[in-house]
Amino acid sequence: MKIENHMLSINATGNTDIHDITIEIQNLIISSNISIGNTTIFTPSSTSAITTMEFESGCIQDFQDHFKAVANPNEFYKHNERWHDGNGHSHLCAALIGPSISVPVINKELHLGMWQQIVFVDFDNKPRQRKINVQIIGQ
């Protein structure tokens, strides 16, 4: 059994900016010494999240519209009242989706569905350079 830790780097614009990171993760698996195992994708941040979706413009906008409705940036947030940074909604959205997923690796491939991509979602309210952990455990 081996463990490999990698970091992806992403220039994210915020405001529910969604990035397809599937190919980058798949390439890390191909370059690794692991063919069967598990990949943990984890975002070390409290204003971004990891999930899967069909990465096409319709689903992307439906996802963005949903969060604009349930956590509108212009509404009142206790976080903003206290810190005046305007990203109270970003913190809420990130906690709702969560920071990690785990995806099986079988014969050097992420075992995803045909229309399923791994996405990083940046809910923050300004551009940031982001780092994402990709950890591969297996043999």
What does the binding site for a second copy look like in residue numbers (CB under 8 A)?
1, 3, 5, 36-38, 40, 42-46, 51-54, 56-59, 61-63, 65-66, 70-71, 77-83, 88, 91-92, 94-104, 106, 111-113, 115-117, 119, 133, 135, 137-139
Q: How far is the CB of 38 from a second copy (least distance, A)?
A: 6
Closest CB 101 distance from a second copy, rounded Å: 5
Query: Least Å distance between CB 31 and a second copy?
Result: 18
Query: CA of 31: how far to CAs of 35, 108, 136, in Å?
Result: 10, 9, 11
AA identity, residue 61: Q
